[in-house]
Chain A
């Protein structure tokens, strides 16, 4: 774990040594049977596994599935929609890196570290391009390219986000890892092993989820995503963003024992190098500085949205996370279903609480009460693995959404919605939850005289993977008020 992880764009064009070694190791690991805990497919199935789907995709034969993947130990562990998203994936990356590095050593004698795909590096005009080695048909020696084995969006050569896609470094502006009530950089609080929890953190929605959808193919489905070798470079970059965020002054990482210990009802478990028992169990504290899974990166500045060591807080601090409050101040009247057409819903607001919140929105005086507003989409359910919607506030009826970017509240890619919606899945079919910060939008509306403290009109515009055949339902749209003290 001592190797330094580098930007893949700095390692040389085409088949540089790091990516060639990655391909050779992947080919060797993918030839191992899935019963081998260090095999490529076993590692992929640790993220998500569905026997029927994997047999349908001919990823496994007709033989028995290893018990490790179905008995609540190694298989199907990925954590999304909660504050375990970042630490679990950090442990997962470190385990994968150690196994691949050992295979590279065995095959070539070289040292190896997992590179990251720095797709939001503004200083690199080609940052969004998929590294050429992942889309080449052949290895330098003419053999088929293992890095291209698993399907992606047809013709993919670069990430091509739409105008409204959540593909930015906006998550870095958040100051708190988590605030009770579903708001924060890292995701909502839980003490349980929940693969898809109630509240998605800012970094998970943007850019993590968006990149999964933009790459397409297996990357859109958490049950298959871990098989794509690009997955690991993507998550390595997300992990680097987290490391940069933690090191920036003004950012408040959680110290909650439930996070540090890991879930109470099931262990996070990774295989040893070689796969022998016992596996490696860990909690959040193992992923922080000094922990066994803590990584080292060559750079924490480019494409992270923060500058370590510099005050990079773009908004006022709101005091200690545990002293902030989050309360609902508005909600719509019933569930909303979105198919191929936009759907609007009226959100009734509690005028007194809203007016008080509006008055405190722009507070900057230390010690003064300060508020932020969030639009919450609760218990979102659907059958597609990564559907996308845009959310607008006070969009006039019948208006073209594209003509009103000033009313755009946010864009959501609901990675894993299919898994979170299964009635007998790990999440009991409770679906996913999202919060969108609409403070600046509310301020704009207020300045334009278009903010009514008694109601908001919310419009959900379907995007990719949402249709009448695969609609999404939102149980409740509410407005949350987060209150703290200017610090």
Chain B
């Protein structure tokens, strides 16, 4: 029942609009803008040759060969393709907390704050992804290791604590600059907890060299699943991905095994 109920709940506002936005991001990523996406950073033969001699120089060369403008545009499209469904609850909170004539503007201000944080988080994640690939010689093991790391992160209490914090709503004033400031502040704070809870999965998505769009969709679905899981006291637990595959794992005694972990 929960899975069917979840799917049916997506028919209500604001889900449809958010999935449409994510779909636009995917389509644009699949079109011309995709050439600026992160995995292609490592595909230059010059970079590959240099990697073996000096990894630091190779990273620098890779960055130099890929201008930041298109690179950040690619990152922005990646965010557009993956993040909108995660914002259903805060967007509704902003909408309901604002005067009717200010609602569109309030949403825009929230998104400005939210996107600013994620755009700032992009370069470090990209650099780390590139560095790991170069150190790993482009091996699939790098991607595999990052997925394992993300799964461990999804199981740990720190991620749960950050997800819980991300569910916290903030006061939105109704009038004047206070209202505008609250919307931006809420966007920034929400994004900080979003980055803190999702970064290993985003790193894994950035690092995937082939099937990049499929990876984006899969990671987006995983992050949405984690966001939809109800808050609970932080403790070791089965990752949302494994629980989705086999609900029996939700009852398995991981928390007992790792209670003191």
CA distance A424 to B173 in the complex (A): 25
Chain A residues contacting B173 (CB-CB under 8 Å) are: 331, 333
Query: Please, which residues of chain B bring their CB within 8 A of the CB of A128?
Result: none
Q: A428 to B2, Cβ gap below 8 A? A: no
Residues of chain B within 8 A of A350, CB atoms compared: 99, 174-175
Asked if B64 is an interface residue, CB under 8 A from chain A, the answer is no
Interface positions, chain B 36-75, Cβ under 8 Å from A, are none
Verify A264–B6 contact, CB threshold 8 A.
yes
A-side contacts of B228, CB under 8 Å: 192, 264-265
B169-187, CB < 8 A from A? 169, 171-175, 178
Residue numbers in A under 8 Å from B168 (CB-CB):
423, 428-430
Contact B232 A331 (CB under 8 A): no
A contacts, CB < 8 Å to B = 67, 70-73, 181, 191-194, 257-258, 261-267, 281, 283, 327-331, 333, 335, 348, 350, 353, 378-379, 423-430, 475-476, 478
The 10 closest A-B pairs by CB, nearest first: A428-B167, A331-B174, A264-B6, A191-B9, A261-B5, A264-B5, A428-B231, A475-B171, A424-B233, A264-B9
Task: List B contacts of A330 (CB < 8 A).
Answer: 174
**Contacting B250 at CB < 8 Å: which of A72, A281, A424?**
A72
Q: How far is A425 from B160 in the complex, measured between Cα atoms in Å?
A: 11
* A261 CA to B10 CA, complexed, in Å: 13
Contact A430 B169 (CB under 8 A): yes
For A328, list chain B residues within 8 Å (CB): 96-99, 174
What is the CB-to-nearest-CB distance from A68 to chain B, in angstroms, rounded to a whole number? 9
Task: Select which of B4, B5, B232, B234 is within 8 A of A426 by beta carbon.
Answer: B232
Cβ of B8 within 8 Å of any chain A Cβ, yes or no, is: yes
Given the known interface contacts A73-B251, A181-B96, A430-B168, the answer about A257 and B230 at a Cβ–Cβ threshold of 8 Å is: no
**Contact status A266-B97, CB under 8 Å:** no
Q: What's the Cα separation between A210 and B174 when bound, in Å?
A: 31
Cα distance, A294 to B256, chains bound together (Å)? 38
Q: How far is the CA of A328 from the CA of B102 in the complex (A)?
A: 11
What are 22 pairs between A and B in contact, CB < 8 Å?
A: A67-B253, A181-B96, A257-B8, A258-B8, A262-B1, A263-B2, A263-B5, A265-B6, A281-B1, A348-B174, A353-B99, A423-B165, A424-B231, A424-B233, A425-B231, A425-B233, A428-B165, A428-B168, A429-B168, A475-B171, A476-B172, A478-B174
Please determine whether A327 and B250 come into contact, CB atoms closer than 8 angstroms: no
Q: How far is the CB of A297 from chain B (nearest CB, A)?
A: 28
Contact A71 B9 (CB under 8 A): no
Chain B 225-261, CB within 8 Å of chain A: the 1/0 string? 0001111111000000000000000110101100000
Chain B residues, Cβ within 8 Å of A475: 171
Contacts A327-B99, A424-B232, A425-B231; is A264 near B2 (CB within 8 Å)?
yes
Q: Across the interface, which residues of A come within 8 angstroms of B230, CB to CB?
A: 72, 192-194, 265-266, 426
Within 8 A of A (CB), among B201-238: 228-234
CA gap between A476 and B173 in the complex, in Å = 8
Q: Which residues of B contact A333 (CB under 8 A)?
A: 173, 178
**CB nearest neighbor in A for B172:** A476
* CA–CA, A264 and B164, complex, Å: 18
Which A residues are in CB contact (< 8 Å) with B256?
67
- Chain B: CB-nearest residue to A180: B96
